[in-house]
Structure 1
Amino acid sequence: MDCRAVSAPPPLLQRRARGPAVAVVLAVLAVLVAGAVLYVRGALPAAVPVAAGPFTPNDYARALDHVRPGGDLDFVGLGQDRAALERFVASLASVSPRLRPELFPTPQEGLAYWLNAYNALVLRQLLERHPDGVGSAWFGRFYWGHAWPVGGERLTLWALEQRILGEYGDPRVHFALFRGTRGGPSLDGAPYQPEFLDAQLNDASRRFMGNPRHVRLEGDTVHLARLFETRQQDFLAALPEGRGGNVLQFVWAFLPDTCEERPGCDTRGDLDRACGPRLDKCRVTFMPEDLSLPDVADAAARR
């Protein structure tokens, strides 16, 4: 019997053997990455069920009955009305301005649909995560980690905000999107409606500017919410001067003249006096967002 050791294959043969395996792994990774990108961007299809009836925001309006005047949410009451919110979210799968444009013939009708859809989906996800909220979701996963069927597409919150709502080119939209945090834009107590949309967007912008969490003046320094930094180019593009303007000009346009409704806020006159007529004498800093859940129960406990 020949007991000599069997010699190992030459290195070249080893490399050749590993080559196909590496190629398969890389191909699988490429497919997974491509699929993840399509998922986050809302580019995957979804089934379109038969609509149960004409599309209306009535069930969503019922869910909004649990928004308190200061913007906090009564999650106990919202949970009791969960069926209404679920019905509205389910109705989104059957119709959208992209699937049935004839049902949304004006930009106002389309934009109102998408704003209500986004905010309702945030509410739906908050109910699932309550009481954890947005802050516990790693790397912003709250906005891209789940996709819903909406008018034949599977859409994440990220896709709704970045890809669809961004097409409307209205910077006031940023103040109308409820992000599920106490430091972000707050919900109104009514759905967005096409016939009142311009006024509702102005109201949402004024609510945001009139909150010291978002705009606060200290001497010659203006502290602004981080939203003004991340979306600064959108706000500047809306100014007569374009992107060569000053973001404080946009802020000034929606600041209140008085603080009767929100004691302690800053007014247009305050900004004029501190920053000069051209609003160029102030330093601007950006504040981090309060990611805590806007839960009325938590607000009551802090009092």
Structure 2
Amino acid sequence: MICCMLIPAVWFVGCAKQPAPITMDTTGVAPKVDFSDLAAVLEEVVDKKGYIETEKFEPLSDRLIRQLKLLAVTGPTATPGLFPDPEQRLAYWYNARTAWAMELAMRRHKSKLIRPDELGTITFPLDGRRMTLTEIDAKLNTTGGYHAVIAAPGSNLRRASLPEKPFDAKTIRVEIKTRFGAFVNDTERFVIDVATMEIRFPPVFWKYREEILADYARDGGGPQATLTTALLSQVSGSALRRLQDAVGYKCVENHQAGELVLVE
């Protein structure tokens, strides 16, 4: 009897369907721009490296859900009058991506049936419709270009780190530039392998390599530029020194799955 029960179980896992869309009851939720619940969660749960402390998350999970419900009925499409400027829209998408990246990571933490590579395609209510993290990236690209996508927060080691506080429209442009450089300077997320003389670019960088090279060429860069040399003018400080030390290294995409940024 035991063997007969195990065979169907294995078949079921192998043929598992895509995770179900996430739904939320937003009855009675009035649209407004308010990220106070997200602020409370980030302050308590996200550490200095951008990791989610899972034990601290549980007592605040209801506040994140409350924030997600508010985001579901508020946004550049649902309530355009609340987001008249590009900076306000950028800050909204950054905060929405932060909140949903955290929620999806914790759902994966609790249910191993959700694969990490599925997190970008799970649909959820946002801005008066159903969206995914991938679709948020598309909005960021439209509003702020590839820099905004690359610097956007994520919950795995192939994306930029989660913030410790919500993003503000007044400072979002500066924060994007700062976070872009911090991503390059992060040895866990942006891997430079001295032994193999390779720079293993995270997929989000690799996706926009042609755009990065095109920008470099428009600024007077040579036709033989590599992705490394094209990025030199876009970063400063220790991030610049990391790239300078790796000029001449082979540029490849990092195909290894990025671990979720969760700590017990």
TM-score of the superposed pair, with normalisation by structure 1: 0.67
Tell me, in whole angstroms, the C-alpha distance in 2 between the residues paired with 1:290 and 1:137.
11
**Which residue identity does 2:250 align to in structure 1?**
R
How far does residue 67 in structure 1 lie from its aligned partner after superposition?
0.9
Instruction: Verify: 1:268 aligned to 2:240, yes or no.
Output: yes
Contact 1:93/1:152 (CA < 8 Å) preserved in 2? yes
CA distance in 2: counterparts of 1:153 and 1:84, whole angstroms? 21
Q: Aligned partner of 1:216: which letter? A: I
Deviation of 1:81 after TM superposition, in Å, equals: 0.6
Aligned to 1:71, what secondary structure does the other structure show?
A: coil
TM-superposed CA distance for 1:197, in Å, is 0.5
1:155 corresponding residue in structure 2: 131
In the alignment, what sits opposite 1:239? 216
Are 1:251 and 2:225 counterparts?
no
> Which structure 2 residue ranges, 5 or more long, are not aligned?
1-17
Q: CA deviation at 1:64?
A: 0.9
User: How far off its partner does 1:270 sit?
Assistant: 5.6
Q: Is the 8 A contact 1:173 1:201 kept in 2?
A: yes
The answer to whether structure 1 residue 99 and structure 2 residue 74 are counterparts is no
Shift in alpha-carbon separation, 1:52–1:233, aligned structure 2, 3 A? same
Q: In structure 1, what is the Cα distance between the partners aligned to 2:261 and 2:143?
A: 28
Following the alignment from structure 1 to structure 2, what is the Cα–Cα distance between the partners of residues 74 and 48?
Answer: 27
Which of 37, 54, 62 lines up with 2:32 in the alignment?
54
User: Could you tell me how far apart the structure 2 residues matched to 1:238 and 1:101 are?
Assistant: 31
Q: Look up the match of 1:262.
A: none
Name structure 1 gaps, 5 residues minimum: 1-35, 41-45, 259-266, 276-280, 298-303
Distance 1:283 1:225 in 2: 10
Seen in structure 2, the aligned counterparts of structure 1 residues 64 and 47 have a Cα distance that, compared at 3 Å, is closer
Distance in 1, matches of 2:25 and 2:179, equals 34
The corresponding residue for 2:251 is 284
Name the aligned partner's letter for residue 149 of structure 1: P
Q: Secondary structure at the match of 2:183?
A: helix
Q: Deviations over 1:277-302 (max 9, x none)?
A: xxxx44323333442221222xxxxx
Give distance in 2, aligned partners of 1:168 and 1:128. 29
SS at 1:68's partner residue? coil
Checking the alignment, whether the CA contact within 8 Å between 2:153 and 2:163 is kept in structure 1 is no
How many pairs align? 238
Task: Tell me which residue corresponds to 1:294.
Answer: 261
Residue 91 of structure 1 deviates from its aligned partner by 0.3
The residue correspondences of 1:88-167 to structure 2 (distance < 5 A) are 88-131=67-110, 137=115, 140-144=117-121, 146-162=122-138, 164-167=139-142
8 Å CA contact 1:50, 1:94 repeated in 2: no
1:78 matches 2:53: no
TM-score under structure 2 length normalisation: 0.76
Shift in CA distance, 131/225, structure 1 to aligned 2, threshold 3 Å: farther
CA distance in 1: counterparts of 2:215 and 2:49, whole angstroms: 28
**Contact 1:180/1:293 (8 A) holds in 2:** yes
Bigger Rg, which one: 1
- Seen in structure 2, the aligned counterparts of structure 1 residues 287 and 150 have a Cα distance that, compared at 3 Å, is closer
- Secondary structure of the residue that 1:77 maps to in structure 2? helix
2-structure distance, mates of 1:124, 1:220: 36
Q: How far apart are 1:205 and its partner, in Å?
A: 1.0
Deviation at 1:50, TM superposition (A): 5.0
Indicate how the Cα distance of structure 1 residues 290 and 61 shifts in structure 2: closer, same or farther if over 3 A, else same.
same
Q: What is the CA–CA distance in structure 2 between the aligned matches of 1:80 and 1:256, rounded to whole Å?
A: 39
